[in-house]
């Protein structure tokens, strides 16, 4: 059987058995996706590359704990592992400043003033640059909640904040992104 056509289940099984060829396939198949994920969290290409490699090493070391739950479960497991590695790295680098409970506020009631159709015209790379441009805490919460599907409870546990704090940070991240979108639209729609 060609190794590049392995199913997720067989790929994980062979990687758990330390099959070097299967490990190469895993790396080739998922490296670019995991790099993009890391870049969304750290906003630095070299750091994202290091994080992606660290995530792959951790995945190879712990793939025996992976439980197949249908097609896509290996992808989801790798993404979750990579998000955790990224958050841990941000914390180590002190770029993920933990917010004391008394500094959290209620999420603001936000109204979008941009036209939804106009927003759809913004190139994906420009939108990604706006997300990467968020301060590290806002970027991490936004990525975890809006893109990677973490709940506020999961974010709170991982970042050592309250659920209310997570919701507040998300609201502030969204407000900052909305301002960036509005600024972009004003500059390009003239």
Q: Which is nearest to 181 in space by CA: 124, 117, 130?
A: 130
How high is the pLDDT of residue 104? 39
pLDDT in tens, 97-151: 444 433 434 333 334 444 566 777 888 888 888 998 999 889 999 999 998 899 9
Rounded Cα–Cα distance for residues 131 and 141 (Å): 11
Domain boundary among 67, 92, 117: 92
What's the token pair of residue 94? 């002190």
**Whether residue 44 is found in the same domain as residue 113:** no
**Whether residue 76 is found in the same domain as residue 16:** yes
How high is the pLDDT of residue 82? 95
Instruction: Tell me the mean pLDDT per 10 residues along the chain, length 190.
Output: 78 95 95 94 92 96 93 94 90 57 38 57 86 90 91 91 93 94 85
**Whether residue 113 is found in the same domain as residue 148:** yes
Cα–Cα distance list, 85 to 12, 21, 66, 69, 170 (Å): 20, 24, 16, 22, 21
Rounded Cα–Cα distance for residues 85 and 96 (Å): 13
CATH of the domain at 142: 1.10.10
**Whether residue 113 is found in the same domain as residue 61:** no
**Whether residue 78 is found in the same domain as residue 135:** no
**Whether residue 75 is found in the same domain as residue 111:** no
Domain boundary among 92, 123, 152: 92
What's the token pair of residue 49? 């590359």
Q: How many domains does the chain have?
A: 2
User: Would the pTM count as exceeding 0.75?
Assistant: no
How high is the pLDDT of residue 2? 59
Residue range(s) defining the domain that contains residue 115 = 101-188
The rounded mean pLDDT for the chain is 85
| N- to C-terminal Cα separation, the chain | 57
How high is the pLDDT of residue 17? 95
Q: Which is nearest to 13 in space by CA: 25, 3, 22, 2?
A: 22
**Whether residue 86 is found in the same domain as residue 22:** yes
Lookup result for tokens 């600024």: 183
**Whether residue 80 is found in the same domain as residue 7:** yes
**Whether residue 114 is found in the same domain as residue 159:** yes
How high is the pLDDT of residue 91? 77
C-beta of residue 35 within 8 angstroms of C-beta of residue 26: no
Q: Is 49 exposed, middle or buried (0-12, 13-18, 19+ CB in 10 A)?
A: middle
How high is the pLDDT of residue 116? 61
As a residue count, the chain comes to: 190
Rounded Cα–Cα distance for residues 128 and 109 (Å): 24
**Whether residue 157 is found in the same domain as residue 131:** yes
Domain boundary among 92, 115, 134: 92
**Whether residue 76 is found in the same domain as residue 141:** no
């Amino acid at each position: 059987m060609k190794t590049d056509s392995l199913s997720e289940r067989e790929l994980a099984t062979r990687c758990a058995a330390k099959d070097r060829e299967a490990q190469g396939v895993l790396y080739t198949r998922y490296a670019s996706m995991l790099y993009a994920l890391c870049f969304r969290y750290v906003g630095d290409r070299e750091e994202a590359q290091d994080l992606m490699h660290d995530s792959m090493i951790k995945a190879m070391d712990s793939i025996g704990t992976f439980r197949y739950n249908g097609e896509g479960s290996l992808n989801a497991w790798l993404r979750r592992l990579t998000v955790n590695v990224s958050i841990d790295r941000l914390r180590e680098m002190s770029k993920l400043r933990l917010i004391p409970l008394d500094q959290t506020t209620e999420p603001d009631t936000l109204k979008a003033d941009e036209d939804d159709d106009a927003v759809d015209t913004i190139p994906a790379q420009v939108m990604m640059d706006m997300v990467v441009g968020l301060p590290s805490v806002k970027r991490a919460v936004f990525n975890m909640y809006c893109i990677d599907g973490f709940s506020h409870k999961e974010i709170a546990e991982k970042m050592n904040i309250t659920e209310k704090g997570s919701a507040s940070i998300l609201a502030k991240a969204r407000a900052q992104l909305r301002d960036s979108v509005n600024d972009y639209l004003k500059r390009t729609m003239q």
